[in-house]
Amino acid sequence: MPLKLAEPAARGQIQELVRLAETAIPPSEEPELPPGRFTQGAPEWYPFEYTIWEYGDCIRRVLDQCTRLRGDPALYEQFLRIVHNRRGKRGRQPFVLLFGYKRCAPFASQLACEIDDWQVSGHVIDSLLKMRVSGFADIVRPFQSNEFAWIRAKAKTYCRRYGIG
């Protein structure tokens, strides 16, 4: 089991990973690649998407070691910069999942505005569920018929739990 990071060291590591992720995002929107052999009809991934994804996952691992930083407003504002930068494409997925804690509920509205982006919509729904926030059933409801089973299941769970009527 790895040693726990001290909070200042963890914060510094996270901030550096955010900086690296932001520099990996291309300066302009890249066109979608053709579907890949293993992507179930979705476009292939660009190398920068993998890079951004890895930085987000590294942040998750740091937060697992220093749980006091989960929901830290200053850090989560930085995560939102990446979440809202659609040029990062699917590399943003783990950054969306970083919000999957009850302490992140104040960020729910800012996260929910990305639900219309197919590259992260399922991850947004998953995080809203983990935040335990209500009030988004109207925008989640259409995803109950999504082509991907895991997104349908998350949307149905959200609507069952928080839907009105």
- For residue 90, give Cα distances in angstroms to 7, 25, 41, 59, 103: 29, 11, 15, 16, 24
Beta-bridged to residue 43, according to DSSP, are 35
Q: Residue holding tokens 């409801």?
A: 141
What pLDDT does residue 149 have?
95
**pLDDT confidence band for 76 (50 / 70 / 90):** very high
Q: What SS3 class is residue 29? A: coil
Sign of the CA dihedral running 106, 81, 94, 114: positive
pLDDT of 115 strictly over 70: yes
Please give the mean pLDDT across all residues of the chain: 95
- pLDDT (mean) for 5-21: 95
Q: Which residue has the higher pLDDT, 16 or 163?
A: 16
What pLDDT does residue 164 have?
67
Token pair recorded at residue 68: 């006091």
pLDDT of 153 strictly over 60: yes
pTM of the predicted protein model: 0.94
Sorted by where each begins, the domain ranges of the chain are 7-162
Q: Which residue has the higher pLDDT, 49 or 7?
A: 49
What pLDDT does residue 93 have?
98
Answer whether 104's CB lies under 8 Å from 95's CB.
Answer: no
What pLDDT does residue 39 have?
78
What pLDDT does residue 41 have?
81
pLDDT of 84 strictly over 90: yes
pLDDT of 144 strictly over 70: yes
pLDDT of 99 strictly over 90: yes
What b-and-e string marks burial along 141-156, b requiring 16 or more CB atoms within 10 Å of the CB?
A: eebbebeeeebbbbbb
What pLDDT does residue 4 have?
72
Token pair recorded at residue 57: 């996952």
pLDDT of 38 strictly over 90: no
What are the φ and ψ backbone dihedral angles of 163, each rounded to 5 degrees?
-70, 155
